[in-house]
Each structure stands twice: as C-alpha cells, then as structure tokens.
Structure 1
C-alpha cells in the first residue's frame, strides 16, 4: 500500500482471510466456483479458466489478497480490498494505476445467485482472469485513465448514493420491506430523470456493456467475458437465449443504452476483440471535454455543478466549481469564473500559496492573448516583460484582444520551467469592453492565470493530494446476526474430512449424521457432505444427503447449479 498515492490509501481495507470468512462462506465460494467453472467451460472466453489459475484464484477457498498479488505482480498489476462501494472516480483512479479493486465481503447463501452489493467473488473471479490477456489489461488501464477525466454531475453522485444505500438494505436480512421499497422508489425516480447524461454517466454505460456485461466474437458466435456474466450463475445461462436477449455489434452507440442493475439485461453488445473495445473507448474519449477544452468543455463543467479542472495552454490548472464564462462573438473563451474553494496548480501539483484556503470564495481570470504581443504571455522572459513595461513593483496595464482590461500594481510573477504562470496584482481593477467590472480593488489580491486558451476541461481536481474531493464513507459492511458457532463447526468439520481424504471412523460418521439431524433446512451443508469421496462415505449416508438436498432445493436456478456441481451423483432438473 505504501506505493499508492496518499489520498487513495484511506479507501484500502484490511483483509483477515483466516478470521473474516466463516466456514460457510468458503462453502458458498466452493459451490459457486464449481458451478460457474463447469457451466462456463464452453461458453466463456477461453482465457477465463486459464486466467483463474494464473491470477491466484482458487476454486476451493476464498482467496487472500496476498495470494492474488503474488500472481498479479507477474502481470504488472496488483489488487487491494475495499469496503463495498467506493466513489466511481476513485475506482477509475485505482484502475488507471493498474490496481484491481476487490470488494471485501463475501455474498451470503441467501444471495447465492445474485448479490445486490459488491462482493469478492464478482470482483476477483469476474475481473482478474482476463488480466493475463495483454490487450484486455491495457484496455482496462486505459479505461481508468479516461474515466478519471470524465465530468460527472450532481445527479450522478445522487444516483451512486441511492444504489449504495439500496444494496446495503437489500443485503441486510433484518431490513423491513417498506424500507427497501422506499429506497427502490428513490433509485427509480433518479434513474427515470430526463436530465441529459454526463460524460461520466455515458462512460459508465460503456463500462457496463464491455467490462461488466460484454460478449466477444460476433452476434452469431460469441463467448462471455463480462465480469457480471461470469459471476452470475443465472444470467450466464439465460443471456445465451438469443430470442430473449438481443445481441448487438458493439459501436460507440452503446453509450446511448442505459442499464438497470436490478434486473437481467434485455440486450448485450458483442465486441470483436479487446483491441476493438479500445478503439471504441478512444472514439468516445475524443469527444470529451478533456480533449476538446474551450467553451464546449467549460459548458459541460458549468452544467455539472461539481468540481472540475480547466487547464490553460500554459499548463495552469484551475480546479473548482466552474460557475461562469465569457466568450467573444466567435465563441472563444475570454474569462472563466469559479465559485467556492478553488485550487491553482501546474502539472497536477498545487502552486505554493494557491490552495483552496487562498481562494476560498472562488477564482476568476481572463483567457486569451494581449494586444501587440506576438505570442502567449506565458512564453515571455523577464527581460521581455520589462520591455513591455510589465515590472514587479510597478503599475501595470494589460489589454487583451477581447477588450478585457487588467490594471493594478504587479506584486509578483509565478514561473515554472521558464514560463509565466500567474501574475499577482494589488489595487487591481478588471473590466470588460463594455465597462462591466469583473474584479475590484477592495476584493483584495487579484491572481491572474496566464494562458491564451483553455485546452482541456476534466472532472475532479489537478492535485488530488492537496484538494481531496472524496473521503471514505462510514463502513458499509452489512450488519448481520452472529453465525451459529455449532453450524460453523459443522462446515469446518466437513471441509477437513474432505481435505484429509482418509477413511471415516464411526465417530466421524456419527458426527455427520448428527449434523444433518441438527440442521434439517441447511441445504448447503448437504452439498458439503456430498463433496466427500464416495469411496469414503457410506452409500446410505450419501443417499440421505442426496434425498434431503433434492427436497430442500426447489428453485430452478439452484437446481441447475446443483446439477453442475454433481453431474453424476444427482439427477436434478
């Protein structure tokens, strides 16, 4: 963790693989991984099964993060565990750093086929295996880089909070039905909003239809590779019904298709290859404000209502809630304005003396070239500035081509690598061509960013260490009842008997019988009994476990999963 940026470290949780997961948790993992790997053997991308082994994901127990990292290091990646949902921008930043984010929790037996919250099976067994494919790994990292720059909106943040709240409520067996209904109604209302989707929202859709629910091949012959499909026993089977689930060739138009995380997908997109996905990603990235800059980029930032960064061609970065801009008759930005705490930076490092404390109320500055100056003011040497009567300690009058005028006493010039980045004035007045006052002397020091145009506008801040937008929320671990210690001991006993592979003595057989008697409704316990080799388990005991399992499991999807786990012993429809 020491190599991670400081602002990311608070999001990293600590895994205690020995004490954190119960023997029943490991039984759930075993059951699901057995069913998934067998069910996906012929339908998942061929890399999947090989990738599980090469990324440290065992089939018989929940992996530790150390096990995974010893394997991922060979691929140039690493993994960290986090506590449930983390902000999308933080998730993307981890990914850009080639760090795979793994949810700490393990889904419960009650949510065996689908969990409403992130869990370790989805995040590890769903995402990690394909990192052995260089093209996929590069695509995933690049997606993180692009996602870090996407401009989100206040609506996006509200939607994220609604999804997070609903997942926590659903995972808690003690939650009242009315509370879940209320949370679902709130989420539905937000999802039904007619607000124009932000860059971040559109990019999230592309992530969903590729990384989470992607198919690879063509519409007539495809394989599964999306993590959401690979970690879902139900949808990995149902998605192959071409009459019920449409298959659409992947284009950038996929960003126009919203998704519903609470239901199965009515359509899926098919990519030709990982390189094809990268092409689609770059096609979208070319339209983002980070690339276009200018008035169009600033307009996206203003509409978002959240903190964004505007970058001048000089390299100066202004991070804050961009509230307004002025443009000339042909659409060139001539002035920008933020409100609230604002940071000034250069090359993603905060400029000394220009933190959010220095600019608590906001920041405004002209954009453009000066009259009679042949190039951008940032490129002039100190001697050249003197030749134009721009001297520290003296009164200076700057006239921009736009007609904006800056008049005041120059108190200092901030320079980096032979560039003028900021000019600071006292007793300063800034006016437009028509006499509108943008800054007045009584407001204090006027810091003017130097630059001819806005080349990039992106979401978030320039220096993430000094201006931390996101902090970990209170722990999201689902409150649950303390597990029955006797039941957990029973699961542990059966696991040990299977691993030992030794003949069972009378006391061990009696212990198994007592366990089945004590927990007549625990179907997964019977699965664990049937894992014991048929050479070691008496036929009568095996027949009893099979019979009771057949009686207890009535849901069709669970029965199909059982048929995958026990293809010979059980004949379950």
Structure 2
C-alpha cells in the first residue's frame, strides 16, 4: 500500500510537523526538470569512477530517476523497503529538528530545485542535494546505521543561543545567494551578518561540534585513504563543480578522519578547502561514538551541568532515580571534590519520567523554574528513591508530617511533606509546604513564602542533554525563520520559455517520431532568449548531427561560453555529452 506524504507527517511527533511541508509536484517547471536531467546525467557519468560504488545502485533502489525530479510518494514507496521514509522541508532547518528526523529514520528533503543560474554549485539545500545526495547510500546498512545514530546523538546535544543565531544567518545568506534577483549590497550585508555572528560565538556547543562532524562526513565525506578515495558525501555527490574540484589534491587538502574534525569550521555557502577521509562506514560510527563519550548526556555530573549552564538554553537533567528536570540550568552547587549537590533551572520548566511529563508538572505549573538537591541523606545508606513507604515511615518520613532532611552535602530541607510521587517502586518527587532549603554554608536556597517546594530525588545526575524530556509538552519553540523561500511568480516571458522546454520534453519522452520542423521553429524562437543554453542543448540532442540547425546551435553554444566561467564549464559538458551520443 502506498504511503502518502500526509500520512508520514501525521505519524511524526507533533513538535516536528511545523517544519515540514508538502511537495506539489506540478509546481516544478519543465526547465526545473531539464536542470535535474542535465545534472543527474552528468553526475552519474562523472561519478561512475569517483563515487563509492553503491551510489548508482542506490539511486535506482531509492526511486530516483536521472530524467525527472523525484516524486516524494514514489521515493517513499522505495524507502519503505529499507525501513526509511522522507518528508519535504523548506531549505535549511534547525539542527535539532534535522537530527531528530534522522533519528526517526526520516530523510528531510529540501523542497526547492536549484535554479539554472546555480547548476554547478548551490548555496542553498535543494532536492538534488537532498534526494540524489543523501538517499542512495541508505541502502548500505552501516551508513544507514551511522545516519540514524548521529541523529540520535544530535537529539541529545546541548545547543547554545549562538547556534540559533548562526542558523538564522546561514539560512538567510543561502536563500539570498540562490535568488538571482538580490542585489550585491544585500548579499554583502548578509555575509557580514554571518561573519559577525560566527565571530561573536565564543564557544562551540555540542550541537555545533556535532554539526561539523556531520558536515565533514555525511555532507562532504570521502572514503578510503588520503591517497586513494571515493566520494560519499551528499554535498559532493550533488555538485558538478565540487565533485570534480575535490579530486584536485593541490586545491583541496585531504585529512584522515578523526574526532578532531569537530574543531574544523565550515562555510555552507562556498566550496570547501579541505576534506576528511574515513576508512569505512564502520569507522564513521567509531569516530561518532568517540565524540559521544565526551558529551554531557553520557558524562552527566557537574561537568555535564556546567556545559548546560554555559549554553543557557533548555536542557534536561536526569537524576539516578530516573526523574527528569527540563529547563534552562541557572544554578549549580558542588561539594569540595566537585560533585553536584544542587541544581536549579529558571524560566518554564518541566518534570518528567521516561520522557513523559509528570501530571501537574509542566511549564504552566512551573513557569519560573525548579530547584532540587542531589545526593544521599545522612544516616541513610541507600538513595532516598529506593526506600519503600513503610521504610520511610520508620524513619519518620511520611505525608502531613513536619520533616527535616539533611544531605551529606550540607543541604537541608525542612517542611511539611504533602505528597510522595512514586513510579516503578521508586520515590521520584517529594512535595513540601511551608518549606525552607538551606545550602552548605547556611545560605537560603528556597523560602517558605515562595509556595510549595517540589524536590526531585536522586543521589547523582546521570545525564544532561539538550531540549526537553517530553517535547510534546515542552516543544522547541524556535522562532520562525527571518527569511523563507517564496513561491515565485513567473513572467509571461518565462512561461513561454517553460512551454518550449515542455514541448521538447514531450517529444523526447514519446520516443517516437521527432518533428524536426517543430525543433527548428523552437530554435529560431530562441533568438529572443540569447543566453538560454540549456534548451538549445536539449534541442541539439534530438537533431541529426548533419542538420543545419545542429551546426547553428553548436556555434551559438560555443559563443555563449564567453558569458561566464560557469557557462563555459556547463556548455563544454553538454557538447562533450552530445558528441559522445552522436559518434
């Protein structure tokens, strides 16, 4: 049974759905399809020897044709056979969203088709890059596992406010660079904004470091060794320019892939001066896990908490009992040997267990934050979480009683115990009224007049990671992008050109009688479009090599080479291609 785009989006977590859209296949013009056909045919020819051998096989097995822009429904029918699916997104999306989609084995595919003006290299994600670049390698199980795993780890990565500012600046610049109507001044201003934003970022968060590893592997990776390698990165596989330039060892430095790649910045809007070479897809996973071992979600403790404090964005603190505290970490207390003894959040906060929000403990009930001690109590050999209700009663800890809890750290909680929240035979949360909390030096951490006090229970912090525990109840709440891709209104002149493209396309796909008179008429009409090289090439493909219009078109294309370096490069490819077919 065919699964529709709507069904896939409906099956996703609700907080991810706003970042997706639908592919309206009819919105692609005949020129768009011609650009796709030219690029994919050239890429398939050029990459036959330089790409990882699985590339061409992967195109076919993931529903990607060389002749037309892929239909998402057709792609998903193929992807379903290997346990993946795809959704359409609008250009650059936040890293946290991108990673979570990958973790769910969903490929985010950019909606747009690059313009004829950016065929060699596009600064903005497009369907060539996303579909023809990423999808083919998913048929390799080791690569698919890596892709999903980097998504799972990315979901846990701590991100900073600077990360979102960088995302906004990159997104805006990539959109402007792809839009031929934008002026030089506007582009220069966007470039300066990105440079200033990067310069203002004084530390690399886990999310930013992981994005670099993702870039140098999934996007711009090589496999083999520095002297003998194949291409597998989607950014290279989808670029006629870079897929060739990257092979020049004088122009592009090759570096063996290690975790140190996280320290190498990149610019999404220009070609890369160096690339990293992995030994294999299994090696990718080894490097990834090496990086993950140093992340806060695995380290926990005071080190993980300090990372969250530095990022100043919503993070989740998980106690050894399993209770999860989500919010912006605003305060950490440690003992003399550096162990965490008290954690506080500010702003909207949430308490959860097994990533499900605890009833009555969401951001509405906790708009100003939550704070709790961490550690063991004096004269209690086990963590407070594992005592039974009867054992607690024997120790004088029961509801509606005035109790005093003295932690080994020196933190003291005094108040009336109102409620004990338990899950899976564990105590997760004590709620107090008329409560006072003091620190090791006698400082007041919570006053009785501040209301009820919810004390999370656990003897240590086992994990700290980015985002909320229950994202459905505490969504990302990222601001809408300041720049977005707009549906373009085509002029009458453009529509007439697209109609000619469609006529040639229909004639070619019919695989029957070629109407030379119609082709010649179209060619004559192209005098109104002196810079239109691609349609001339498509007409050339269908003409006999000894036809008068054939020689006229070749001469026109040769003259157009002087228009720009890109024109010269593309026209040389076109003429070489048609010469091979005609010979």
Moved more, 47-56 or 512-521: 512-521
- Per-residue deviation, residues 459-506 of structure 1 (Å, max 9, x unmatched): 111001000113573672145441422111101001011111222346
Contact 2:415-2:435 within 8 A present in 1 as well: yes
1:34 to 30, 41, 66: 41
**Could you tell me whether the CA contact under 8 Å between 2:121 and 2:242 is conserved in 1?**
no
Aligned match of 2:547 in 533, 539, 542? Answer: 539
Indicate if the aligned counterparts of 1:523 and 1:553 stay in contact, CA closer than 8 A: no
Residues 490, 515 of structure 1: 8 Å contact kept: no
**1:467–1:198 distance in 2 versus 1, CA, 3 Å:** same
Q: 1:517 to 1:560 in 2, by over 3 A?
A: closer
Matched, 1:521 2:531: yes
Alignment correspondent of 2:513: 503
Which moves more between the two structures, 173-182 or 369-378? 173-182
Residue 191 of structure 1, aligned match among 181, 198, 201: 198
CA contact (8 A) 2:219 2:234 kept: yes
Deviates more, 1:556-565 or 1:302-311: 556-565
Cα deviation, residue 180, structure 1: 1.3
User: Do residues 559 (structure 1) and 568 (structure 2) align?
Assistant: yes
Structural mapping, 1:135-174, within 5 Å: 135-174=142-181
In structure 2, C-alpha distance between the alignment counterparts of 1:194 and 1:490, rounded to whole Å: 50
CA contact (8 A) 1:317 1:344 kept: yes
- 2:4 matched residue in structure 1: none
- String of CA shifts for 1:415-466, please: whole Å, max 9, x gaps: 1111111100000000123211111111001000000000000011100100
Alpha-carbon contact 2:174-2:269 (below 8 Å) kept = no
Contact 2:414–2:435 under 8 Å retained in 1: yes
Distance (whole Å) between structure 2 residues aligned to residue 352 and residue 429 of structure 1: 24
Deviation string for 1:310-358 (max 9, x for gaps)? 1000011111100110000011100001110001111100000000111
Q: Are residues 1:407 and 2:414 paired?
A: yes
- Tell me the CA shift for residue 254 of structure 1: 1.3
User: Which residue of structure 2 lines up, in the alignment, with residue 300 of structure 1?
Assistant: 307
Q: Distance in 1 between matches of 2:577 and 2:119?
A: 22
Of residues 480, 486, 502 in structure 2, which corresponds to 1:492? 502
Shift, 1:194, TM fit: 6.1
Structure 1 residue 88 corresponds to structure 2 residue 98 = no
Contact 1:87 1:470 in 2 (8 A): no
Distance 1:390 1:507 in 2: 95
Quote how far apart the aligned CAs of 1:557 are.
4.5
Larger CA deviation: 190-199 vs 233-242:
190-199
More helix by percentage: 2
Give me the whole-angstrom Cα distance separating, in 1, the residues matched to 2:531 and 2:543: 23
- 2:41 aligned with 1:14: no
Partners of 1:568 and 1:522 lie apart in 2 by 18
Deviation of 1:569 (Å)? 3.6
1:477 equivalenced with 2:485 (yes/no): yes
In structure 2, C-alpha distance between the alignment counterparts of 1:222 and 1:52, rounded to whole Å: 20
Q: What is the alpha-carbon distance in structure 2 between the residues aligned to residue 320 and residue 569 of structure 1? A: 61
Cross-structure match for 1:340: 347
Pair 1:512-2:522 in alignment: yes
Equivalent residues of 1:430, 1:440 under 8 A apart? yes
Q: Secondary structure at the match of 2:11?
A: coil
Point out where structure 2 has 5 or more consecutive residues left out of the alignment: 1-7
Instruction: Please give the TM-score of this superposition, normalised by the length of structure 1.
Output: 0.96
Mind listing any 5+ residue stretches in structure 1 that lack a counterpart? none
Q: CA separation of 1:515/1:401 partners in 2, compared to 1, >3 Å: closer, same or farther?
A: same
| 2: CA distance, partners of 1:362 / 1:264 | 45
Is residue 468 of structure 2 the alignment partner of residue 461 of structure 1?
yes
Q: Which range is displaced more, 372-381 or 562-571?
A: 562-571
Higher mean displacement: 445-454 or 81-90: 81-90
Please list the CA deviations of residues 145-166 of structure 1 after superposition, one character each: whole Å capped at 9, or x if unmatched: 0111111111111111111111
User: Any residues of structure 2 matched to 1:68-217 within 5 Å, and which?
Assistant: 68-193=75-200, 195-217=202-224
Q: Report how far residue 408 of structure 1 moved.
A: 0.6
Does the Cα contact within 8 Å between 2:516 and 2:543 map onto a contact in 1? no
The alpha-carbon deviation at position 64 of structure 1 amounts to: 0.8
How many angstroms apart in 1 are the aligned matches of 2:37 and 2:266?
30
Distance 2:525 2:285 in 1: 53
Contact 1:320 1:342 in 2 (8 A): yes
Deviation at 1:564, TM superposition (A): 3.7
Conserved? CA contact 1:379–1:418, under 8 Å: yes
The structure, 1 or 2, with the larger RCO (C-alpha pairs under 8 Å, 6+ apart) is: 1
Distance 2:377 2:526 in 1: 85
Instruction: State the distance in 1 between where 2:177 and 2:199 align.
Output: 21
Tell me whether 340-349 or 468-477 shows the greater mean CA deviation. Answer: 468-477
Aligned to 2:259: 252
Kept in 1, the 8 Å contact 2:253–2:275? The answer is yes
Q: 1:234 aligns with which of 235, 238, 241?
A: 241
Aligned-pair CA distance for 1:175: 2.1
Question: Does the alignment pair 1:395 with 2:402?
Answer: yes
Q: Which moved more, 1:446-455 or 1:555-564?
A: 555-564
Deviation at 1:190, TM superposition (A): 2.0
* Corresponding pairs, count: 568
Distance in 1, Cα, partners of 2:201 & 2:96: 23
Give the alignment's TM-score, normalised by structure 2.
0.94
Q: Secondary structure of the equivalent of 1:40?
A: helix
Query: 1:278 and 2:285 equivalent?
Result: yes
Aligned to 1:408, the other structure's residue is in SS state: strand
Q: Is the 8 A contact 1:368 1:451 kept in 2?
A: yes
Q: 1:234·1:557 contact (CA, 8 Å) conserved in 2?
A: no
Instruction: Identify the residue that residue 66 of structure 1 maps to in structure 2.
Output: 73
SS, match of residue 49 in structure 2: coil
